[in-house]
Amino acid sequence: MRLSQYLMPTRRDVPAGAEIRSHQLMLRTGMIRQSAAGIYSWLPLGLKVLRKIEAIIREEQDRAGALELLMPTIQSADIWRESGRYDDYGKEMLRIKDRHDRELLYGPTNEEQITQIFRDSVKSYKDCPRILYHIQWKFRDEIRPRFGVMRGREFLMKDAYSFDLDEERARKSYQRMFISYLRTFERLGLRAIPMKADTGPIGGDLSHEFIILADTGESAVFCHKALTEIPAPSEDINFDDDLTPFINEWTSHYAATEEMHDEARFNSEVAAEDQISARGIEVGHIFYFGEKYSKAMKCTVQGPDGQMTTLHSGSYGIGVSRLVGAIIEASHDENGIVWPKSVAPFDVGIINLKPGDEAADEVSNRLYKELNAQGLDCLMDDTNERAGGKFATMDLIGLPIQLIVGPKGVKSGVVEIKDRKTGEREEQTIETAVAKIIASHKLT
């Protein structure tokens, strides 16, 4: 993409009312624009990041054996009456009526919807287990939206739902998602720590929140330092194997959010030098809820013995739009965003310092074409902005690699490669620069 043909309305001023860095940076880089409290439009740059995150989540869901489908944003009140949640769910649920006065709602979650689909589609134990997921916009009319996309009212969420014949087997589905989440967050450039979460009336040990550590996190969290160091499961993990050893490795250390925190246990189980007390952002939540919806909504299958069995389910959420903010919270500096490679909106930023200079144009265009041909997505600043402005903008939007092409360097056959994260810059011949960038791209 040529910047001269793009829509990327960056700003120098810090927008009023944006408190935290990620929100400020998303507004300043022109990733999003607010359209109402907690409701945002995604401009081209922001949408690219959102799509990249989605793609990684999708790959890891698929790898774990989950099946993608897509349910609507608008749901009928009927199924919520069936589960009993229509009255339980408070003002957070946006209720609407159509022209025939039929009661509808903008879905805050999809347990009812998926349970209806599954019970109407599956009648035999042979079709279990299944894990189904979708990536869809949700709406929760939060009392107080804040922190930009980190707590919006409208938000993009990946939610998966598992259907198993009994609790024992449901546990296996739960483990699949657990491992899948570890891999997903790792690929997003984050260290997410699974922490035991409140299981409510269901009880048991099958609920975890995945938390990333950040000063602006909404809740206090406590964990063992080891959890920041355990390597995530590799991509050749076989999800059909017994995953228990992995789960044990990740759940044997102390980790709790403030609601579940037990100071005495923390102090006795974790040596003082291994204790981490920090703030955390919840980016995922997995939950086994058993027969809660399948019982109320009569989601049953016939077993081999001819008996009807009520299915056991769990739900598994990832806050996709929240992750955009969370990643920025975890990865920025005073000059702007520092994108992890896997989710950067472009792979490389090419700065043509002097458009109109024949040699600079020629080299910039050549680099642009060659890198694009190798599958690298490039943003080329071919505007007439001054050099200082271009550098500042490129640092602000945080592309991992910058290629700086100036008339002076070009004259002696060199361009400059800058690593956004370290700030290191090196002059290279054009050929070497291309080769190096391609090589480093292929590593990831």
Partner RNA sequence: CGGGGUAUAGCUCAGCCUGGUAGAGCACUGGUUUUGGGAACCAGGGGUCGCGAGUUCGAAUCUUGCUGCCCCGACCA
- Using CB under 7 A, which of 234, 236, 388, 422 touches RNA? 388
Tell me: does residue 14 bind RNA (CB under 7 A).
Answer: yes
Do residues 148 and 18 make contact, with C-beta atoms less than 8 angstroms apart?
yes
Asked if 387 interacts with RNA (CB under 7 A), we say yes
Parallel, antiparallel or unpaired: strands 67-68 and 130-139: parallel
Q: Which is nearer to RNA, 118 or 391 (CB)?
A: 391
Contact region with RNA (CB under 7 A), list: 8-16, 51-59, 124-132, 271-279: 8-16
Q: Does residue 134 touch RNA according to CB under 7 A?
A: no
Q: Is 361 among the residues that bind RNA (CB under 7 A)?
A: no
- Nearer residue to RNA within complex by CB, 12 or 100: 12
Output 119 or 153, the one with its CB closest to RNA.
Answer: 153
CA of 400: how far to CAs of 280, 364, 388, 417, in Å?
25, 18, 19, 11
User: Which residue lies nearer to RNA by CB, 118 or 185?
Assistant: 185
Minimum distance of RNA from residue 164's CB (angstroms)? 21
Tokens representing 188? 């997003």
Which of residues 73, 76, 199, 219 is near RNA by CB under 7 A?
A: 219
Helix, strand, coil percentages (3-state) for the chain, rounded to 5, are 40, 30, 35
- Determine, following the binding rule CB under 7 A, whether residue 443 of this chain makes contact with RNA: no
d(CA 170, CA 312) in angstroms, rounded, equals 6
Is residue 228 within 8 A of residue 193, CB to CB? The reply is yes
Which one, 202 or 392, has the nearer CB to RNA? 392
Does 398 bind RNA (CB under 7 A)? Our answer is no
Q: Does 12 bind RNA (CB under 7 A)?
A: yes
Interactions with RNA, residue window 151-180 (CB under 7 A): 151-153, 155, 157
**What's the Cα-to-Cα distance from 127 to each of 141, 238, 243, rounded to whole Å?**
36, 21, 22
Residue 37 vs 271, nearer CB to RNA: 37
Q: How many H helices and E strands in the chain? A: 14, 23
Contacts of RNA in 318-337 (CB under 7 A): 318-319, 321-322, 335
User: Which burial class, exposed, middle or buried, applies to 275 when counting CB atoms under 10 A from its CB (0-12, 13-18, 19+)?
Assistant: middle
| Residue 222 found at the interface with RNA (CB under 7 A) | no
Q: Which long-range contacts (CB under 8 A, 24 or more apart) does 91-99 make?
A: 91/141, 92/140, 92/141, 92/142, 93/140, 93/141, 94/139, 94/140, 94/141
Q: Give the whole-angstrom CA distance, residue 122 versus residue 413.
A: 66
Tokens read off for 250 = 């990740």
Q: Which of 2, 95, 130, 146 binds RNA (CB under 7 A)?
A: 146
Binding-site member from 81, 97, 123, 386 for RNA (CB under 7 A):
386
Q: What is the dihedral of CA 106, 176, 168, 295, to 10 degrees?
A: 10
**What DSSP letter does each residue of 11-50 carry, written as one string?**
-SSPPTT--SHHHHHHHHTTSEEEEETTEEEE-HHHHHHH
Tokens standing for 307? 């008996």
Task: Choose between 195 and 227: whose C-beta lies nearer to RNA.
Answer: 195
> Closest CB to RNA among 17 and 304?
17
CA 93 to chain centre: 23
409 makes contact with RNA (CB under 7 A): yes
Q: Report the residue from 312, 418, 428, 433 that binds RNA according to the rule CB under 7 A.
A: 418
Q: Which lies closer to RNA via its Cβ, residue 322 or residue 441?
A: 322
Q: State which of residues 25, 30, 31, 38 lies at the interface with RNA (CB under 7 A).
A: 38
Q: How far apart are CA 154 and CA 142, in angstroms?
A: 9
Residue 151 vs 187, nearer CB to RNA: 151
432 binds RNA (CB under 7 A): no
**Residue 316 interacts with RNA (CB under 7 A)?**
no
Q: Which residues bind RNA (CB under 7 A)?
A: 10-17, 19, 34, 36-38, 140, 142-147, 149-153, 155, 157, 209, 218-219, 282-285, 317-319, 321-322, 335, 353-354, 385-389, 391-393, 395-396, 404-410, 416, 418, 425
